[in-house]
Structure 1
């Protein structure tokens, strides 16, 4: 094999396809029993923020009405079909525990004791299993429930409760909006929520991203935004105006069963739901020296700065604003494949192959 791809979600599948198209031989290792990434584990009502026509991986259009916003389960089914059409070795139920580097490339060890070797590796394991959980003052003594959005499925279990959703992104607002059907909900944010019209001039925002070239704009030439904007056709802003839910500055601390707000007021709370994002899940690279002290890859545009032949895929703002999305990961996969193929060519020429 030429390349070991770690992770069988959208990023790993895109990598496998572009490697095959380049004449390389990948093997894809996926810890779960299916190649659907984290999609089946997201909250039940999740829909894509981009229409189907802009939500495809290389070589297979997303089926159905191109202008609809596909549901979570449709995305999972699409990824499963995508994997079925790949002429690549895919091993599910194969959790990677460590990657080691040597003169001949990389040794990838799995939980069942198997070792795979190859001259190049792509880490495409995503971030859903590594939710970011900020530690808040007084949290250890809070008597209510604290959970991350990764552990939230549906509103029914929270009926009648007082809930604070922490976060100002799409997921935070979507979850708060649906919880407001059954509970009293506040969005707690450090800065005001930045709403963006989902359909300016009657066209979905992703149409304008495409025609203006924004989706391909190099991330190195623009600063990543201080929090993602919330795409809205008006329902979320209207809900806030009408008091269906409210937004307040972030509370300062917990105190028993209460939270203390920035103005000094306090109130009992049943649930605090943290929609605070995720971090890359790359613990299998610990000890390799490829990560910084926070666990983030040392890379430029997905290429490791420490280990030639090691690549990353699916990172936020890896190369462009759309790098970690269905619509953008394919472009990054083609770029990474070209670079790794060049690396493999250099290795072969030095070896006299």
Structure 2
């Protein structure tokens, strides 16, 4: 129904009976599905033109899930049985579209949230888009951890060649025969460097910090699955020592390749900082053979290439920034300090970071991937559905009152 309030007279205002979910990526679609399963209809707002837009438009062609599909399923509906153990980008997008269709989730595409703020006078969240303001008792932030690209401190403006962030990288075929500087050695930096090799390019990968590289599988099983199983029975640091021992046995000493390991173990580091270990899918073999050159830190980008901290200077045809992403929540959400840090991440560690004050929730900010997203989505839907049922019960009692 219409809602009137002070402010812009041109702004159409609408009261929404169910929760507003901002974002139609895996997090937003998952929480909307869980709410629908509990009998609660959500209004999903999405800036882009599709579900899982980051996967559809901002990922490289060779991308596959880093973990087996059983660890990446959203609540209430698994991957098709015929999908491989590690689904491709296209298969994951197909799964997301089928998931949204199955739960009748129809996001309002092309709807960017400009501002969201709690109004105690009306007891709800004012969510402003272009030309409209929606008001609801509940606001679920599902824009995720990976929205805005992180740019390196070293400026690339002087470089005469092509400079792109990984969000715009599609295939090594676009760089065939080129000498390419890849800034960053996380999973994206490693996989893009490997893809460049396969298309006859010469990648120079910059290792800016320490990094844990683990085999994707050990003993024929997912390394992640092995780690999860062992954590049920052993202390975390014992599990980390085991993983590192197997990694050294299968991959060798990565320090000698210019990939120094952190002092903190891989699982402990992930839990504390959210920094994900690299799961090797073939890049390490190319580093050992010299096809991927490992470089230690960029001192300066020049017109034709780069100067490195070790004194070397190289010329390049292109630069690819595998420098990651960051949240943009702080740019549009006002009054979310109970739930979010100033960097736009959940304040409380998993599994307690999903609920704030005044009907504010977040999903997909756990630094635990899709497993964390699923856990948050189920918790949020359970919490909101209980309130929803209580409100409806109160309304029915009021309507049936003899007064």
- Residues 119 and 344, structure 1, Cα contact 8 Å, conserved in 2: no
Kindly report which structure 2 residues correspond to 1:1-353, keeping only aligned pairs within 5 A, or say none. Answer: 1-41=17-57, 42-65=59-82, 68-88=85-105, 90-103=107-120, 104-111=123-130, 113-136=131-154, 139-180=156-197, 181-212=199-230, 223-225=271-273, 227-232=275-280, 235-282=282-329, 285-288=332-335, 290=337, 292-296=341-345, 298=347, 301-303=352-354, 307-317=357-367, 322=368, 324-325=369-370, 327-341=371-385
Q: Is the 1:189–1:249 Cα contact (8 Å) retained in structure 2?
A: yes
Q: State the Cα distance separating 1:155 from its structure 2 match.
A: 1.2
Mark the CA change 1:65 to 1:289 in structure 2 (over 3 Å): closer, same or farther: closer
| Superposed displacement of residue 226, structure 1 | 7.5
Task: Report the 3-state secondary structure (helix = DSSP H, G, I; strand = E; otherwise coil) of the residue aligned with 2:99.
Answer: helix
Q: Which residue of 1 aligns with 2:252?
A: none
- CA 1:299–1:156 in structure 2 vs 1: closer, same or farther (change >3 Å)? same
Q: Tell me how far 1:129 sits from its aligned partner.
A: 3.8
Q: Secondary structure at the match of 1:139?
A: coil
Q: SS of the counterpart of 1:44?
A: coil
User: How far 1:203 sits from its partner (Å)?
Assistant: 0.8
Q: What is the rounded CA distance, in whole Å, between the counterparts of 2:393 and 2:353 in structure 1?
A: 24
Normalised by the size of structure 2, how large is the TM-score? 0.75
Instruction: State whether residues 297 and 304 of structure 1, in contact with CA within 8 Å, keep that contact through their aligned partners in structure 2.
Output: no
Give RMSD over aligned pairs: 3.1
Instruction: Tell me whether 75-84 or 287-296 shows the greater mean CA deviation.
Output: 287-296
Alpha-carbon deviations, 1:4-56, whole Å to 9, x = none? Answer: 11111100011112222334331211222222331112111111111223221
How far residue 310 of structure 1 moved from its aligned partner, in angstroms, is 1.0
Distance 1:179 1:89, change over 3 A: closer
* Structure 2 unaligned spans of 5+: 1-16, 237-266, 399-403
Residues 106-136 of structure 1: per-residue CA shift (max 9 Å, x gap): 121222x122221011111235441111220
Contact 2:346 2:366 in 1 (8 A): no
- Per the normalisation by structure 1, the TM-score is 0.85
SS at match of 1:187: strand
| Bigger Cα Rg | 2
Could you tell me whether the CA contact under 8 Å between 2:115 and 2:333 is conserved in 1? yes
1:175-225 deviation line (CA, Å, top 9, x unaligned): 0011123211111012354211211111112332443457xx999997535
Number of residue pairs the alignment of both structures matches = 341
Q: In 1, distance between residues paired with 2:174 and 2:298?
A: 24
Quote the offset at 1:285 in angstroms. 2.4
